[in-house]
Amino acid sequence: MSLTDRVQTIRDELAKVIFGQDDVIDFSLAALFSCGHVLLEGPPGVAKTLLVKSISAALNLEYRRIQMTPDLLPNDITGSSIYREDSGTFEFHRGPIFANFLLADEINRASARTQSALLEAMQELQVTYDGTTHSLPAPFLTFATQNPIEQEGTYPLPLAQLDRFMFKLMVSYPSAEDEVRVFAAHHATSGLSSPERMLVQKVMGPEDILETRQLIRETFVRDEVLAYVQRLLQATRDDDALDVGGSPRAGLMLLTGAKSLARFRGREYVIPDDIQEAFLPALRHRVVLSPTVELEGTTTDEVLGQILEMVEVPR
């Protein structure tokens, strides 16, 4: 089965549960197949958690969920040492982060200290405790959700934490047609919908994901496209509307995501359209608006959209 067929099979399974979030699904899968992590932002009740659970169910991955709260400690995520009286030694007890698929729900409700417990895991795919390094299972993917409306009792994610996410995806309310489909499919479950109840089938496994990641790494990117990415990044650094522009890591994440999108479309090479499609999700959380522009009500997406229109596109 080709990668395009595999992705369509996953989409078909997710369509049993999730309606009207096609772009969010595609970018979530692009991150998964590109060794990236995803930050989902949207109001409560738009199926952010259900989406993550459904993807893990379709891919047969071990799934763990952490409800991030102000009193959560780093050891609650990574694990801690337990003293064994029979042997007189300390034994490391692994925390919920040791899974293929981790959901950090409402990540901005946890303190900065607790958020930092995810940094090493997301970047190095390992956890260090008491000087001993413990490898995380492969593949490892972190999804995090946050609510942009309710700010009371929240801790904004610092740039170092945001930079660990390949994409920041905006999950909005569905269209009227899709919302009616949600009502029709889920009203009988009393709001307790789950992938299992909706008969989501396992269509891939960890080995298939690792094989797909290798295929995406081999996707060809011509020099003109590489130069295009650099011009886009430079434009974010030169724009007076932005205090912080895109870094080289942002460019790498943009390229890697675009390679996944190219493969999803059945191509073995990246075209500028792939870069443009991945540009906002890959950059919107890595750049910082200047205070003046922010006070005027201009959004990051609007500034990045203007940059896309301004920078010359290679033929």
CATH number at residue 54: 3.40.50.300
Do 105 and 30 lie in a common domain? yes
Please list, in sequence order, all residues whose beta carbon lies within 8 angstroms of the beta carbon of residue 278, skipping any fewer than 6 positions away: 27, 30, 167, 254, 257, 258, 261
Is residue 118 helix, strand or coil? helix
Q: Do the domain assignments include residue 315? A: no
Q: Is 300 exposed, middle or buried (0-12, 13-18, 19+ CB in 10 A)?
A: buried
Same domain, 193 and 244: no
pLDDT value of position 284 = 95
pLDDT at 44: 81
Closest among 103, 11, 16, 96 to 59, alpha carbons compared? 11
> According to the model, what pLDDT value does residue 198 have?
62
pLDDT at residue 14, as a whole number: 86
Largest CA distance in the chain: 70
Structurally, the chain folds into a number of domains equal to: 2
CA–CA gap between residue 310 and residue 31 (Å, rounded): 27
State the pLDDT at residue 174: 81
Q: 236 and 207, same structural domain?
A: no
In a domain, residue 293? The reply is yes
Of the three residues 172, 189, 211, the one that is the final residue of a domain is 211
Give CA 249 to chain center in angstroms.
Answer: 15
Are both 51 and 186 inside the same structural domain? Answer: yes
- Does 121 lie in the same domain as 49? yes
Please give the pLDDT value at position 86.
76
Does 62 share its domain with 108?
yes
Token digits of residue 65 = 């969920």
Q: What pLDDT is stored for residue 236 in this prediction?
A: 96
In a domain? residue 38: yes
Question: Do 146 and 175 fall within a single domain?
Answer: yes
Residue 157 lies in a domain: yes
Rg (CA), the chain: 20
The answer to whether 3 and 161 are in contact (CB under 8 A) is no
Residues spanned by the domain of 263: 219-310
pTM above 0.85, yes or no: yes
Q: What is the pLDDT of residue 159?
A: 86
**9, 158: one domain:** yes
Q: Which of 185, 211, 237 is the last residue of a domain?
A: 211
Residues 46, 104 within the same domain: yes
Q: What is the pLDDT of residue 196?
A: 60
- Tell me, what CATH number does 245's domain have? 1.10.8.80
Low-confidence ranges of the chain (pLDDT < 50): none
